[in-house]
Amino acid sequence: MQRFDKLFINGEWVPPHGSGHTTVFNPATEGEVAQVCNADLDDVNAAFAAARAAFPIWSATSAAERADWIRKLHSALERRKDDLAMAITQSMGCPLEIAKIIQVNCVKALEKFAGRAYEMEVEKRINNSLVVREAVGVCAFITPWNYPLYQLIGKVAPALATGCTMVLKPSSVTPLQDIIFAEVVAEIGLPKGVFNLLTGKGGVLGDAMVTHPEADMVSFTGSTATGKRIQQLAADSIKRVCLELGGKSPFIITENAPLEQAVSFGVKDVMINTGQTCIALTRMLVPANKYEEATQIAKKVAESLKVGDPLAKDTYVGPMSSMSQRETVLKYIQKGLDEGAKLVTGGLERPKGLTHGAYVKPTIFRDVHNKMTIAQEEIFGPVICMIPYNTIEEAVSIANDSIYGLSSGVWAGTQEEAIRIARRIRAGGCYVNGGDFNYDAPLGGYKQSGNGREWGEFGIHEFYEIKSMQL
C-alpha cells in the first residue's frame, strides 16, 4: 500500500499541519490502495498564500512562456500516462483499458491550451477605449471522483494558459492522479506557488477554500447540492464562481432513426464508467410504437457488456467508485421498483460471480414515467430509464421536464432533423446521431447543471477579467 505524507505547496512537498490520513480503497477488491495525508485550515492558508505570492510574476509572463510551460507539462504527463490510468482504475474502478482512453486521453488537450495562452494577448479598440484581458487571479479548484484527471486538466490547463495561480483539492475518494500531477509539476520545475495541491476531506477544507480571502475565483465540479452551498458561501465576497454540476440527460430517438444503432449507442453511453458520467444519457425517450422493440434491443446490449474485474482487458463495466456509491444506486433501483417501474434487465442482485466489490448490474427500467424519482434525480450509476412518447412535441417536453440541463442526445432520420430537435432541448450540449465527444467544444450546463463552460476556447473565458482603458 502506498502512503503519502506530504502536500504540494509553493513548489515543494511539505508535511501537513493537519493530522491523520484518508484511506483510498479499491472498489473492485474493497482493499486499501493508499493512505493520503489530511490538510487542515493552516495548510489551506499556506497554499493560498503561496498562490497569491506567485500571482504577480506568473500573470506577467508572456503567452509564449506560459505556452512553453504547458507543453513541458504535457510531455511529462504523457510519460506518466500508464501510472495515471492505473491510479484511476485502482481508486474508482474504471476498467483500465477504457480508463486509458476516456480518463487519460484528456492530457492531449494541454497541447491545445498551450496555444490558447496567446488569446490573452488579444486586445480590442472600441472608439477611444482599449479593451484588454487580464488573469482573474488566484483560483480555488474542487473536483469530483468520476473523471478525476479530466476535471483537473479542464481547470488547471486554462488557468495556466491565462496566467492564474491555483489551489486544488481533489475528491478524497480519488486523490492519486492529482498527486502524480503534482509530481510532474515538481519534475518540470513550474515556478513555485503556481500550482498547489491539498488533500483531505471536502467537508473539512471546502468552506475555507471557497470563502478564502485570497481566492478570486472558485471552480467546482461535483453534485448540485454541494454546488448550491458553494455559490451561497462565495456570494459574501462576490467571487467568480464556476459550477459544473449534475445531470439527468434525455436521449430522444425518433421514429425514423436506425433503432438498433441508436439504442445500442444509448446503452453503451450510460454503461461506460459504470454510469458515473455527468453527461450520461440516462433517460431514453422512444416512440411508443417502437417501445417493445427498443426495450428488447436495450436488454440484449446491456446483457452483452462484460461486468467485472477492471484489470481484465474485455471488461466494459467495472465496479461503482465506492461501496457507498453502490448503496446509493441500489436505493434508487429499489425506489424505481417501489414506484412501479419494471426491470428490463439488471436489478438489486450482485452480478453473477462477483461476491464482493462495489458491483451493480447494468440495469434498465421500462414503464418509467418522467415524474418518477428515478427519472428526475441523478442516480450516477449504470441505470437507464426508458420512457415512451407519442409525438416529438411530447418528447421535447419530457426532455425539458428536469431541473437539470447538462447534456442531451437526439438520433433522428437525418442530421438536419436531429439538429432541429436538439435546438429545442434546454441543455448545454447535445449528441446528434451518435456524435463523438469533442475536447475542443465547450462543456457545461443550463439550469441546475451549473453556470460554467469548460474545454476549448470557451474554457478559458472563465479565467480572465476584461479591462477597459479610455484613451
282 is a site residue for ligand NAP (CB under 6 A): no
The three-state DSSP-derived secondary structure of 73-133 is HHHHHHHCHHHHHHHHHHHHCCCHHHHHHHHCHHHHHHHHHHHHHHHHHCCEEECCEEEEE
Q: Which of 147, 160, 167, 154 is nearest to 84 (CA)?
A: 147
Nearer to ligand NAP, 131 or 235 (CB): 235
List the one residue from 43, 214, 216, 378 that touches ligand NAP (CB under 6 A): 378
Among the residue ranges 99-107, 108-116, 164-172, 329-337, the one whose residues contact ligand NAP (CB under 6 A)? 164-172
- The contact mask relative to ligand NAP for 180-209 (x = CB under 6 A, - = no) is ---------------------xxx--xx--
In the chain, the amino acid numbered 439 is Y
Among the residue ranges 224-232, 303-311, 390-398, 460-468, the one whose residues contact ligand NAP (CB under 6 A)? 224-232
Active site residue 106: no
Binding to ligand NAP (CB under 6 A) within 140-159 occurs at: 142-147
Min. distance of Cβ 404 from ligand NAP in angstroms?
Answer: 9
- Output b/e per residue, 197-212; b: 16+ Cβ within 10 A: bbbbebebbbebbbbb
> Positive or negative CA dihedral for 206, 214, 245, 377?
positive
Nearer to ligand NAP, 247 or 357 (CB): 247
Interhelix angle 81-92/176-188, nearest 10 degrees = 160
Nearer to ligand NAP, 7 or 117 (CB): 7
Catalytic residue among 278, 385, 430, 454: 278
274 is a site residue for ligand NAP (CB under 6 A): no
List the 32-37 sheet strands across, edge first.
Answer: 2-4, 32-37, 21-25
Q: Which residues pair with 454 in a beta bridge?
A: 443
List the 12-14 sheet strands across, edge first.
Answer: 12-14, 7-9, 195-197, 165-169, 138-142, 217-221, 240-244
Min. distance of Cβ 17 from ligand NAP in angstroms?
Answer: 18
3-class SS at 441?
coil
Distance between CA atoms of residues 344 and 386, nearest Å:
9
Nearer to ligand NAP, 40 or 68 (CB): 40
Nearer to ligand NAP, 95 or 405 (CB): 405
Distance between CA atoms of residues 281 and 270, nearest Å:
6
Nearest-10 Cα torsion for 461, 464, 465, 471:
-100
3-class SS at 344?
strand
Among the residue ranges 163-171, 185-193, 211-219, 301-309, the one whose residues contact ligand NAP (CB under 6 A)? 163-171
Min. distance of Cβ 1 from ligand NAP in angstroms?
Answer: 19
Among the residue ranges 105-113, 133-141, 218-226, 305-313, the one whose residues contact ligand NAP (CB under 6 A)? 218-226
Active site residue 457: no
Min. distance of Cβ 407 from ligand NAP in angstroms?
Answer: 9
Among the residue ranges 13-21, 88-96, 156-164, 217-225, the one whose residues contact ligand NAP (CB under 6 A)? 217-225
Active site residues per annotation = 244, 278
Residues at the site binding ligand NAP, with contacts judged by CB under 6 A: 142-147, 169-173, 201-203, 206-207, 210, 221-223, 226, 229-230, 244-247, 278, 378, 380, 406, 443, 445, 449-450
